[in-house]
Amino acid sequence: MSDLDKLEENIAIVLCKLEKIFPPAFFDVMVHLAIHLPREIKLGGPVQYRWMYPIERLLGILKRLVTNKARPEGSIAEGYISKECTTFCSMYLDGIETVFNREERNDDGGDRAPGLAAFTQNVRPFWSNLKST
């Protein structure tokens, strides 16, 4: 923490000294970001708790689904909805695997409660694994 305090105090001075060397075009938003980084590290902690890579990767996948360049938001929303629908169908529809002669994808060997499959879950109590070990 003491190193971060020193960095926070000295980064403005370092950037002022760099202004004497480099032209004004060098100083963009990314160079200015260095002023805020020590405070963000103190407030946010380790980077993995605020890392944006999974979200950026999902947005990249959705951007590739754009078919109408004039209205990309609609294409992205349509792609997201179709992805959610196929995920829902693959998780909750029963009997499809029997057509292809294979076992269910999400079968964990537990007991299924009676009712509509979308609102019931396969249940395997946690302690049943502990008793067998």
pLDDT tens track for 48-94: 666 777 788 888 888 888 888 888 888 888 888 888 888 787 776 66
Domain assignment present for 126:
no
Predicted model pTM: 0.37
Domain assignment present for 108:
yes
Domain assignment present for 40:
yes
In a shared domain, residues 63 and 107:
yes
For residues 76 and 33, give the distance between their C-alpha atoms in angstroms, rounded to a whole number. Answer: 30
Contact of 112 with 102, CB cutoff 8 Å: no
Greater pLDDT, 40 or 46:
40
In a shared domain, residues 31 and 46:
yes
Domain assignment present for 78:
yes
Q: 3-state DSSP call for residue 53?
A: helix
In a shared domain, residues 60 and 107:
yes
Give the pLDDT of residue 125: 57
Q: To the nearest whole percent, how much of the chain has pLDDT over 70?
A: 64
**Residue 114 banded pLDDT, cuts 50, 70, 90:** low
Residue 24 is part of which domain span?
Answer: 2-51
How many domains does one find in the chain? 2
Give the pLDDT of residue 17: 92
Residue 15, burial from CB neighbour count under 10 angstroms (0-12, 13-18, 19+):
middle
**Residue 21 banded pLDDT, cuts 50, 70, 90:** very high
Mean pLDDT of the chain: 76
